[in-house]
Amino acid sequence: MRPLTFDLLAMPKSVAGVRDTLRDYVGGPCPDLQLCVSELVTNVITHVGEGTPVSVRIAATGDGRTRVEVTDPDPRAWPVLRRATDADESGRGLALLDAVAVRWGVNQGPGSKTVWCELRDL
């Protein structure tokens, strides 16, 4: 699979377009990939702010996995896995990502951070 990289502004209306782009890229349904990228972009909207420029990269790792990376310009807004209660209206995104990804993490750069996850090859 050839790498896919694209930039966008993190806006609620962008998330559906991202899912369409991923489906076209893979050539069919890719629910885990769509879920992970949607959740990571939505986290940027929620914790960094609407309109934040982000870069999305999807690439095969060579060891049977697909790596997803979402980079934003705020190295301080660090994602934290929490356990939402039944009454919470949010806070489940990283738990969903954690459930479908083989592994995930965060790399901090000098003026950015990249939240990444790896999925079993698509």
In CATH, what number is assigned to the domain containing residue 8? 3.30.565.10
- Note the pTM of the prediction, 2 decimals: 0.90
The domain containing residue 52 runs over which residues?
Answer: 4-120
The one-letter amino acid code at 28 reads G
**Integer Cα distance of 115 and 13 in angstroms:** 21
Note the pLDDT of residue 82: 65
Nearest to 14 by CA among 71, 52, 58: 52
Give the mean pLDDT per block of 10 residues along the chain (122 residues). 94 95 95 95 93 97 94 84 60 81 93 96 74
Q: What is the number of structural domains in the chain?
A: 1
**Integer Cα distance of 56 and 5 in angstroms:** 6
